[in-house]
Amino acid sequence: MKAQRLHASGERLRLDSIAVPEPEQGQLLLEVTACGVCRTDLHIVDGEIPGARYPITPGHEIVGRVIARGSGAERFPIGARVGVPWLGWTCGKCRFCAAGRENLCEAARFTGFQIPGGYAECVVADERFCLPIPSHYGDAEAAPLLCAGLIGYRAYARAGNARRIGIYGFGAAAHILAQVASFEGRSVFAFTRPGDAAGQAFARHCGACWAGDSTLAPPEPLDAAILFAPVGALVPIALRAIEPGGAVICAGIHMSEIPSFEYALLWRERRVESIANLTRADGERFMAIAEEAPLRTHVHVRDLENANEALSDLRNGAVSGALVLRP
């Protein structure tokens, strides 16, 4: 089969011809029908996340159909359409797993990083970590739900009952989350790169009641702010925008250095926290919302052979919505 693989940090992906993997016990072999392109893939290519095992086949927003099953794999029948997210395996025994916090498992393995991912024609996955996908989404439209949607939802859940939510960085995750928040009657304030009029218009199209430059103050105080842009300098800016008791939630797996700031920005029980990975329970809850809410994922589909160009477009902010590769 064909697979786009990273052989060393900072290199371009290579389109390799490799053997189709055999599913082991509890695994599914999937024919990949779509795989989203995530900013985490850029961090992996750039070597910004420790623990890489080269060569890497990136991709953790995978939609595929079951074409073979390993021994004991009975959850999904042959022909079923399933999604494969970032969290690909956990030990199930550590203190975090035992407490329902498998996203923090220190032995966890991640799809498209330690486990070969979906920039390929086929992929194997542990069936316990696969998710059913609502039937009314096409394959390409469903792919961004598997990370942009899931991680966005986990960050959104950490915002609690916040009614006025700021979103910094309006990409794939934000455009899904804005629709969820709007569906639930909350107000979304979108912050984009300075001068990005097209991005601001796209944010309003996705349900934001206000959109402006990330350097600006919102027209009213926020209850919470979610940072999808991996820019540490946005943390004190977001702290200035939230009410006492509010939260700044950093949803990226990597972020540039956070500059020092005066304690007054944090005082009165404001807080800064990070989101790490996801749990299977997150996936189940979010897919239930995706089944009910009229979410529309805005996708730009590219052929697998053009994975490097897709990553370049993502890096340069050249697309609105989400990029998806199609074998």
| Per-residue pLDDT, 319 | 85
| Per-residue pLDDT, 53 | 81
| Per-residue pLDDT, 217 | 94
What's the pLDDT tens digit per position in 48-83? 988 888 999 999 999 999 999 999 999 999 999 999
Which domains occur in the chain, in start order?
2-147+278-326 (3.90.180.10), 150-274 (3.40.50.720)
| Average pLDDT score, the chain | 95
Whether the predicted pLDDT of 252 surpasses 90: no
Length of the chain: 327
Considering the chain, what percentage of its residues have pLDDT values greater than 70?
100
Whether the predicted pLDDT of 176 surpasses 90: yes
Q: Is residue 38 very low, low, confident or very high in pLDDT (cuts 50, 70, 90)?
A: very high
Q: What's the mean pLDDT in 116-143?
A: 97
Whether the predicted pLDDT of 20 surpasses 90: yes
Question: Which pTM was predicted?
Answer: 0.92
List the single range of 49-58, 122-131, 136-145, 298-307 with lowest mean pLDDT: 49-58
